[in-house]
Amino acid sequence: MVRCVLLLATVVGVLASRERAAAAQQAAAEVETRARQGQLAASDAGEDADVVKQLAVLEEIDLLRNLDLFEGTSQQAPDAGTAPDAGTSSDAGAAPPPQPEPRQ
């Protein structure tokens, strides 16, 4: 009977140690999985930061374009209201008309 009790205690001890080993392996696998997910999240965060920077640059360019459009209209307004002195603006690069020779 003592042998049966010792044999039973040994079997229970072996099974318990196997369960502990399996639990330890599972915990190690979970830690590895979490570490990998953390690394992926960190790389995604870096990519997200790059995308945010690019969007900020694009938004700034858009604002500058809009500013140029408004500045361009305020500079053109005084010129548009004045009439040309001689001729039109299309013949600005043409040669001047010939001068009549003085009579004697």
Q: How many CA atoms lie within 13 A of 26 on its CB side?
A: 6
Give 67 or 74, the one with higher predicted confidence: 67
pTM exceeding the 0.85 threshold for the entire prediction: no
Q: How many domains, the chain?
A: 1
**Residue 14 domain-assigned (yes or no):** yes
Per residue in 69-78, pLDDT (tens digit) is 777 665 555 5
Domain around 47: 7-72
Does residue 21 sit within a domain?
yes
Please indicate, yes or no, if residue 41 is contained in any of the structural domains. Answer: yes
- Token digits of residue 3: 């042998």
Kindly state whether residue 12 falls inside one of the protein's structural domains.
yes
* Cα of 25 vs its chain's centroid, Å: 40
Query: Which string of b and e fits 52-74 if b means at least 16 CB within 10 Å?
Result: eeeeeeeeeeeeeeeeeeeeeee
- Domain annotation covers residue 86: no
56 assigned to some structural domain: yes
Specify if 81 maps to a domain: no
Residue 102, in any domain of the structure: no
